[in-house]
């Protein structure tokens, strides 16, 4: 009963999020909706509390697809025995994006296993019968659900299978998949783009400050979490369209994010999200795509709205909600509220708090502190006309001994700024941009 209560509370939080974003209406009972979708899709499950797999099937007519379902759930049993998957899920439960990524690993492993079992042990006719059978008698509720919910439901099985197959085919065994249960995926981005997992590209950790304290005593934060590339992509596809370049570009280059959802005593909500992107181009693409999304969703139009300390900021008003979006370097902030002043206050607070601690991955001439002004990493400059000088520094005393390495050059240069470096000086070299190692 306690588990069901926690699940119901989580769904209530999700419902408030979906209502704020326009994914569902206030009249939607999300708990009933998700239960209906799950009932449509779930024909098997593994209960970790009793260590027992369950499959919905006719014992008097045990068909090939039912046998595959048993294999699939038995793999989940093995995952629990060897990797304690339920404990891992509990440890990452506050990060919805990483949870989705880990579930994709679990389902991908199990799906690949039952495909290999089918290939090894089924006759041709049985394979055809199993592939033809959907195992789902009615998908009415699933097809009627909002697109975002459909995509979040399918992701572990579809993208997870692709991820597992990619790892399996490299050595024709499960060694790399087993290793993935040791170094688990950090984000849905790592599932969607396997090269991001291979390179161990960690998401940028974004921790929003206490917005409620700024807005006043009547406000309370009741949820904060990570959207991730999957959710952002699905949200854009649900409004702008699946086949559009806009939807793809909007989520590509995700670096890390966190959102907060707040509510006051009158039941009014504030949604605030800060996203860090891999490059300034990625940030700009999201900024422009988000404008299109909100206009299509609300029928409103953006207007210039000054927010101190950012490159660009816009506001949009509807009869029930105000939206603000800002762009500044690698960072975008978007806020939704019933009140424009509250939206503006929230936006300015987030920008001010985060800009003080977010090192840049692209910068120009000057003297910069590593890990404060700029991120460590490998960089390439844009211009090495005569007179380009750079220096990696161990201190700022102005002594020759502070120079770790330096160079005067007329060539485009690639260099690595170490995490242990204290500073970096550059003049006449154009802009420096972080590149993949």
Percentage of the chain lying above the pLDDT 90 cut: 57
Q: Rounded to whole angstroms, how far apart are CA atoms 148 and 382? A: 40
Tokens of 356: 């003080």
- pLDDT reported for residue 288: 96
Q: How confident is the model over 322-336, as a mean pLDDT?
A: 95
Provide Rg for the chain, Cα atoms: 25
- Average pLDDT along the chain: 87
pLDDT tops 50 at residue 1: no
- pLDDT reported for residue 2: 43
- pLDDT reported for residue 132: 62
- pLDDT reported for residue 61: 55
pLDDT digits (tens, 9 = 90+) for 110-144: 999 999 998 888 877 777 766 665 444 567 788 88
Residue spans of beta strands (DSSP E) within 103-213: none
Q: Per-domain residue ranges for the chain?
A: 2-199, 211-357, 362-434
- pLDDT reported for residue 66: 76
Q: How confident is the model over 196-208, as a mean pLDDT?
A: 87
Q: In terms of pLDDT, which residue wins out, 102 or 373?
A: 102
Q: How confident is the model over 7-26, as a mean pLDDT?
A: 84
Q: Rounded to whole angstroms, how far apart are CA atoms 133 and 121? A: 17
Helices and strands (H, E) in the chain, number of each type? 16, 17
Confidence band of 46 (pLDDT split at 50, 70, 90): very low
Tokens of 86: 């339920």
Q: Of 305, 267, 319, 313, whose CA–CA distance to 287 is shortest? A: 313
- pLDDT reported for residue 204: 84
Q: In terms of pLDDT, which residue wins out, 46 or 191?
A: 191
Q: Rounded to whole angstroms, how far apart are CA atoms 52 and 30? A: 28
Contacts of 147 (CB under 8 A, 6+ apart): 234, 237, 238
Confidence band of 33 (pLDDT split at 50, 70, 90): confident
- pLDDT reported for residue 219: 96
What fold does the segment set 211-357 form as a domain? Protein Transport Mog1p; Chain A (3.40.1000)
Q: How confident is the model over 232-244, as a mean pLDDT?
A: 89
- Its pTM stands at 0.77
């Amino acid at each position: 009963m306690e588990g069901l209560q926690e699940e119901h509370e989580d769904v209530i939080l999700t419902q408030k999020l979906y209502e704020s974003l326009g994914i569902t209406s206030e009249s939607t009972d999300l708990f009933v909706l998700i239960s209906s979708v799950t009932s449509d899709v779930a024909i098997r499950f593994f209960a970790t509390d009793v260590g027992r797999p369950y499959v919905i099937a006719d014992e008097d007519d045990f068909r090939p697809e039912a046998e595959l379902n048993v294999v699939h759930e038995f793999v989940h049993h093995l995952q629990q025995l060897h990797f304690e998957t339920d404990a891992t899920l509990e440890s990452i439960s506050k990060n919805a994006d990483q949870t989705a990524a880990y579930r994709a690993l679990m389902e991908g492993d199990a799906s690949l296993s039952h495909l290999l079992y089918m290939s090894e042990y089924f006759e041709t006719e049985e394979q055809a019968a199993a592939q033809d059978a959907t195992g789902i008698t009615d998908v009415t509720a699933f097809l009627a659900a909002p697109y975002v919910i459909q995509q979040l439901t399918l992701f572990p099985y579809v993208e997870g299978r692709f991820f597992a197959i990619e790892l399996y085919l490299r050595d024709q065994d499960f060694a790399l998949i087993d290793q993935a249960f040791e170094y688990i995926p950090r984000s849905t981005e790592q599932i969607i783009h396997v090269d991001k997992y291979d390179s161990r590209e960690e998401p940028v950790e974004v921790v929003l400050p206490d917005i409620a304290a700024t807005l006043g005593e009547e406000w309370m934060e009741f949820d904060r979490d990570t959207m991730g590339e999957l959710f952002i992509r699905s949200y854009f596809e649900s409004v702008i369209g699946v086949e559009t370049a806009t939807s793809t570009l909007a989520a590509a280059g995700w670096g890390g994010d966190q959102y907060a959802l707040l509510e006051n005593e009158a039941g009014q909500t504030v949604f605030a999200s800060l996203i860090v992107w891999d490059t300034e181009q990625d940030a700009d693409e999201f900024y422009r795509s988000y404008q299109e999304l909100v206009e299509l969703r609300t029928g409103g139009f953006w207007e210039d709205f000054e927010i101190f300390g950012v490159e660009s900021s816009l506001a949009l008003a509807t009869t029930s909600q105000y939206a603000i979006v800002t762009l500044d370097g690698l960072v975008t902030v978007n806020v939704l509220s019933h009140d424009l002043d509250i939206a503006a206050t929230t936006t300015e607070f987030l920008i001010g708090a985060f800009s003080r601690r977010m090192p840049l991955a692209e910068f120009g001439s000057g003297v910069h502190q590593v890990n404060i002004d700029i991120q460590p990493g490998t960089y390439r400059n844009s211009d090495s006309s005569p007179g380009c000088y750079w220096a990696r520094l161990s201190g700022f005393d102005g002594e020759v001994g502070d120079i770790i390495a330096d160079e005067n050059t007329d060539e485009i240069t690639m260099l690595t700024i170490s995490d242990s470096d204290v500073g970096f000086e550059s003049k006449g070299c154009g802009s420096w941009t972080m590149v993949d190692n």
